[in-house]
Homo-oligomer: A and B are copies of this chain.
Amino acid sequence: MIQEGSRVLLLTERKKRYLVKVKPGVKFHTSEGYVDLSELIGKRYGTRLTSNTGSVWFALKPTIVDIVMKMPRPTQIVYPKDLGTIIILGNIKPGSRVLEAGTGSGVLTAVIASYVMPNGIVYSYDISEEYLENARKQLEELGLLPYVKLKRGDVIATIEERDLDTVVLDIPTPWLAVPNAYKALSDGGVFVSLSPTIEQVVETVDALNSNGFVDITTIELLMRTLRVKKGMTRPDHIMRAHTAYITIAKKVCRDSSDY
């Protein structure tokens, strides 16, 4: 049931998507007219509504992806096609202890938090107090703050945690953080990094090879959307062709002299 304070995804007739918070007395205006959000209180998710101009909308329950895609973006975000793969290839599961850097917009933080809960935790590092503050607000709003420890710091300098299940790096020079990631991971821990350029990938894989990681894989995901309509079905004309390469590796034991 939609209540005061609920988040609702408004899907308009022209397929625009708006994420709104239901407050009494607020009219939500768009180029397809407005609706009075008060009317939604007490309605079921999935309710059909009509804007003042007669446009037919739906008030949907937002999914995790609907929510994070509408978060403010002070930095480049991680896209849905990559989010699921990071979670699954990063072996991030309920109960996992995960380090993430940098926090950035908090999109990946929120997604990881959603999957490690209720017993796991995300340590999310960023060097920018501003980004951390923004992320804190977003995570609190989403009820995910209990599963996240936001930390101001540079993972290239230090990672304080030990025995982590997964380290996820989305920073410009992940290769410089590989030695710290090694120390922070548990035996059997998984390293994940995201980088837009191929040179970053080459440096990172090189550092992983030299610093106690094996089973190193780099992938790139392409997501095609289709227009599906009887007699007129085809892939969409335009696609996001590149976001980031994802590199995954596993920690191995080294001689004690290495520590």
Contact = CB atoms under 8 A, between A and B. Distances in A.
A44 interface: yes
Interface string A197-222: 11101100110000000111111111
A11 B242 contact: no
Given A44-B253, A223-B221, A253-B48, A241 B230 contact: no
Interface stretch (A87-95, A121-129, A154-162): A87-95
Interface in A73-117: 80-81, 83-89, 91, 93-95, 111, 114-115, 117
A117 B116 CA distance: 10
Main SS class of interface, A: mixed
A190 to B, nearest CB: 6
A63 interface: yes
Contacts of A214: 11, 58, 60
Given A11-B215, A46-B188, A48-B252, A118 B94 contact: yes
Contacts of A136: none
A190 B63 contact: yes
Contact of A93 (B47, B64, B85, B86): B64
A234 B197 contact: yes
Given A88-B80, A190-B63, A241 B233 contact: no
A212 B218 CA distance: 35
Contacts of A93: 64, 114-115, 117
Contacts of A196: 234
* Closest 7 A/B residue pairs (Cβ): A61-B188, A84-B84, A239-B241, A84-B88, A45-B188, A63-B91, A235-B242
19 contacts: A46-B253, A58-B215, A60-B252, A65-B91, A81-B221, A93-B117, A94-B94, A94-B117, A95-B118, A199-B231, A201-B226, A201-B228, A202-B229, A218-B226, A220-B223, A220-B224, A221-B222, A222-B222, A237-B240
